[in-house]
Amino acid sequence: MEVVFVILLLFIIYLLVDNNTVWLTKHILTFDELPEEFNGLRIIQLADLHKKTFGKNNKNLIKAVKKQSPDYILLCGDMVNRDCTDFTNIENLLNKLSEICPVYYSLGNHEIDMPANMKSKLFATAKSAGVTLLDNGVYTITKDKNAIQIAGISLFRENYRRKDTGYKNLRTYELSDLESAIGLKKEFTILLAHNPFFAKSYSRWGADLILSGHVHGGIIRLPLIGGLLSPERKFFPKYSKGIYTVSSSYMSVSRGLGKLRIFNPPEIVLIELNKS
């Protein structure tokens, strides 16, 4: 009995340490279409913070991001919970991140599900912090005569959960939906799309790099198997964390920062873009 107690205690200590330590994951990706002026571009990808904090006022998270000297910080959704009414933590985080470099914020299912008044408050908080909100929007960054675009799509609620059938018969997200939301692809584009399950549509649209989250790394990661469960209650999701090649696109799926996780520590993702 004592042995069982010790094992349980050690496991609890492990969970506390592992869930409160931010890991860095770095990827170096090469693109034929990347303009030469953007060679070596460093971006930080953050996703699924929910209501988690890392140190007082998220000082540990901010320090970890700043240490990487990014050119841009891209937030891929669910940076707050749908029931959030106190925006103190996210306001402080957005302000501090904006002091490092430009920040772009795309919505996840939790932001989409927020009551209208709270969503407006979140948008105002982001704007006040100098963050560019991409709610089905595109932002163009120009250097000399060349440009890249950062686009962010807000999926439909029914892409995540239906009111009548829950997680069954979810709506698909087609190429036509993406074109209706943000138009045709023009320049080299980094697409922020919270849910990775529609990767084929994102790739068909022409996204060069897709940044997603949502799956929380599969919540529990098993050796040689990977992520166990998706938010849609599906076992062994196809996309759970890391870099995937989808047709001619790369997709980076962050395992995220918040929520309880096992063998699946929180992460920030650094991606360096190189011209081939």
pLDDT tens-digit profile of 27-75? 999 999 999 999 999 999 999 999 999 999 999 999 999 999 999 999 9
- In the chain, the percentage of residues whose pLDDT exceeds 70 is 100
Q: What is the pLDDT of residue 224?
A: 86
Which CATH number is 104's domain given?
A: 3.60.21.10
Is the residue at 3 inside a domain? no
Rounded-to-integer distance, Cα 203 and Cα 22, Å: 30
Q: How confident is the model at residue 166 (pLDDT cuts 50, 70, 90)?
A: confident
Question: Which pLDDT belongs to residue 5?
Answer: 83
Q: How many domains does the chain have?
A: 1
Helix axes 88-100, 116-128, angle to 10 degrees: 30
* Residue 4 located in a structural domain: no
C-alpha torsion 173→177→178→182, nearest 10? -150
Asked whether residue 255 is domain-assigned, the answer is yes
Q: What does the pLDDT read at residue 132? A: 98
**Residue 256 covered by a domain:** yes
pLDDT at 78 over 80: yes
Residue 11 lies in a domain: no
Residues 6+ apart with CB under 8 A from 245: 251
Model-level pTM? 0.96
Q: What is the pLDDT of residues 200-230, one digit of tens each?
A: 999 999 999 999 999 999 999 998 899 999 9
